Structure 1
Amino acid sequence: MVVAILFFTREEYTRQVLFVSFLMSLGWFYLAFFLGRRYRRMKLGVVPVGRVGELEPTPDIELRSLTHPDLGGVRYDGVVADLHAEELSPEWERFLARCTLHHIPVYHVRQIQESMSGRVRIEHLTENEYGSLLPSLSYQGVKRFIDLVAALLLLPLLAPIMLATAIAIRLDSPGPALFIQRRMGFRAVPFRVYKFRSMYMDQKGLGFTAGDDDPRITRVGRFIRKYRLDELPQLFNVIKGEMSFIGPRPESMELSDWYERDVPFFSYRHVVRPGISGWAQVEQGYAAEVDGMTTKLQYDFYYIKHFSLWLDILIAFKTLKTIVTGYGSR
């Protein structure tokens, strides 16, 4: 608005002052936003019928059960109700209508569950909810362009680190520096994923990492797994279009066939390109592959449902935090 006013009124200004003013304003608003998030809890009124008992408060959200169809003069950020509950009486329905008329947001319990947990429950998907999981085709194209450009820019910068990692792996244990494995990819098309080898060549396992003290992991392997250096060769998968920087982690063919039989809706996670990092990785950390796959899939469905640039940016920042702290590595 300031730029438009200066432009149309032809007032004199300097670009330096305008740019510095913009940065100061941006810094001030971000500071206010983060301070508000830190010291203020969202307060939600809960209509005590149906499945609202499954909700649990979090450090950022306070849940207050309403005893009767009235807010009692308390200022709420929104009202939560199970809009499909048979016990929802006409009095409560009129109360929810009044809230909407007074611009107080009314949320369905499942919507709040997803927002608080970062997961989409897949046990009872309706036909409408299944349709809402279709990712944006236009953003898929934009994302592919961003992935390609970013991978081409990062490759020469990360090449020295990749070379040093490969040398360390060869010196630490016998075998090749790269580990190549067939995995299930975009639209259920198999592809070969590239990783730095982090395990001994002469030891067999279950097809997934068994725990923190898995004896198959080498000394160098433990380090590169902790700081995600073993994932760097997947830049070539991104350039080839087989993977993205952000998306559900690709599973091996054996595990994919296993999950197809035992985990409902598993194949739907292939509707987007698999990623080097993903929502499940930054929120859940490493999952014990079989036991944690249903929860992992709920995180993947949340990512697909909210497939957007802003969620990818959030995951990118959380991934940087994961790399620095080593959280969730195995």
Structure 2
Amino acid sequence: MSQKLERRYSRWYQSVLLHSFTQFFIGVAAVVLLPCLLWWGGQFWQQWDEVRVTTVISNFLCFFVVFVFYKRFHHFPGAQSLFYVIPTIVLVYLLAFAALFFVRAGYSRPVLLLSLGLAVVCFFAGHFVRLRVRRLQLAVVPFGEQPSLRREADVDACTLAEPAFHGRRFDAVIADLRADLPAEWQTFLARCTLAHVPVYHVRQIRERLTGRIKIEHLSENEFGTLLPDPNYAFIKRVTELLLVLATLPLWLPLLLATAVLIRLESPGPALFVQQRVGQGGRLFNMYKLRSMYLASPGSGARFAGANDSRVTRVGRFIRRTRLDEVPQFFNVLKGDMSLIGPRPEQREFVAQFERQIPFYVYRHVVRPGITGWAQVRHGYAASADDTRIKIEHDFYYIKHFSFWLDLLVVYKTLQTMVTGFGAR
């Protein structure tokens, strides 16, 4: 690759940064300034009283937060839907209204509402343009393991015949960096890096597109990336405790009412207690609302199947809406579980999976969760093969353990509660 091409890609890299800045400033003009022009007129800037200053600052902060969320969410697979963008906008503006109300600050409600509406329009338009126009262009090096990208709707992949782009612009190069690459291809990849064209190992791009980490051949370096951030783990624990306690008046009456319905439909206790394996392999008692008829003695542990005859009518509803998981808030308060994390399994299944699935035990490095990345991406696991796929999702969650991924899981969980995805 010539120095001319390096300079062209360096300019392209700068244009990408410029594009992000342009998006931001266009958004500021449309979401922050335009509502002021529409409500106060073209000379609004000549009179800056407390109401106008507070309103403009609030509009800007709301747009900035939503813009950051939008950019960060797009790093994760399955987060390109407007289902995650629009609720974020509404939630941020609702929090702004609440904050202004509690501090009793003067502001213009019509201008803030106009800003909310224009934010929805702008992000909707940007999302539509991105899906229709801006597809990810990937160049694939034809050696070693090849990525399977045919089913990806927002990706165009082209296998290179020789180490050159021939004037075509690509967003990244995909290569099997463990393959025995010829010298000219090694030089080509080095030139790509110098030209600010990202070079990804084939497993990295698969991970980014599928939200899974292959576990058959984890290296020592990959194990290092799977260590969760202890600082965020502490912040997450404190936040969850405060959140569960603050929402106690909401979920406790719901829990009690559902328990009454369970007792009315079938004999037996409303609460189901089962031993599960938690963080560090420790055993704990997990609480659920009973969704099945009482099992006969000696029936043993087994997966729930589709249309399982053991599930009651009330149980089918609470399993679909995940209301059977509400008692696990007590597990969160006790420290056995987290709101978000790998789903805890029964001891019998854990012993089986440790024999069948490589590195299975590593999923216990974080607290198990009421919901998690594997649950919202894959749904219910009813076999060892399904569990293997869920483990790959769990490893992805541990590697990308962060506030942004947790927030995305929350959104997807709400979507699951509405659609009933993955319920048995």
Note the 1:284-295 alignment, pairs <5 A: 284-295=378-389
Query: Among 255, 259, 262, which residue is 2:353 paired with?
Result: 259
The equivalent residue for 1:141 is: 234
Bigger-Rg structure (1/2): 2
Note the 1:34-183 alignment, pairs <5 A: 34-39=127-132, 40-86=134-180, 88-183=181-276
TM-score, normalised on structure 2? 0.72
Once residues 21 and 131 of structure 1 are traced to their aligned partners in structure 2, the CA distance between those partners, rounded to angstroms, is 39
Displacement after TM superposition at 1:105 (Å) = 1.0
Moved more, 226-235 or 56-65: 56-65
Query: Secondary structure of the equivalent of 1:291?
Result: helix
Displacement after TM superposition at 1:305 (Å) = 0.9
Q: Which has the higher helix share?
A: 2
1:57–1:63 contact (8 Å) kept in structure 2: no
The equivalent residue for 1:280 is: 374
Query: Secondary structure of the equivalent of 1:79?
Result: strand
Once residues 295 and 257 of structure 2 are traced to their aligned partners in structure 1, the CA distance between those partners, rounded to angstroms, is 24
Q: What residue ranges of structure 1 are gaps of 5+ in the alignment?
A: 3-10
The equivalent residue for 2:364 is: 270
Among the aligned pairs, what percent are the same residue?
A: 52
Q: RMSD of the alignment, in Å?
A: 2.1
Once residues 249 and 258 of structure 2 are traced to their aligned partners in structure 1, the CA distance between those partners, rounded to angstroms, is 15
**Paired letter, 2:54:** R
Displacement after TM superposition at 1:244 (Å) = 0.5
Displacement after TM superposition at 1:255 (Å) = 1.2
Once residues 259 and 96 of structure 1 are traced to their aligned partners in structure 2, the CA distance between those partners, rounded to angstroms, is 40
TM-score, normalised on structure 1? 0.91
Q: 1:141 to 1:256 in 2, by over 3 A?
A: same
Displacement after TM superposition at 1:264 (Å) = 1.7
Give a deviation string over 1:87-106, Cα, whole Å, max 9, x none: x1111111112211221111
Displacement after TM superposition at 1:20 (Å) = 3.0
**Paired letter, 2:167:** G
Query: Secondary structure of the equivalent of 1:112?
Result: helix
Query: Secondary structure of the equivalent of 1:52?
Result: coil
Displacement after TM superposition at 1:32 (Å) = 5.3
Once residues 300 and 130 of structure 2 are traced to their aligned partners in structure 1, the CA distance between those partners, rounded to angstroms, is 43
The equivalent residue for 2:305 is: 211
Once residues 276 and 216 of structure 2 are traced to their aligned partners in structure 1, the CA distance between those partners, rounded to angstroms, is 26
Displacement after TM superposition at 1:155 (Å) = 1.7
Note the 1:197-208 alignment, pairs <5 A: 197-203=290-296, 205=299, 207-208=301-302
Displacement after TM superposition at 1:208 (Å) = 3.2
Q: 1:167 to 1:263 in 2, by over 3 A?
A: same
Once residues 326 and 166 of structure 1 are traced to their aligned partners in structure 2, the CA distance between those partners, rounded to angstroms, is 20
**Paired letter, 1:115:** R
Query: Secondary structure of the equivalent of 2:288?
Result: strand
The equivalent residue for 1:7 is: none
Query: Secondary structure of the equivalent of 2:145?
Result: helix
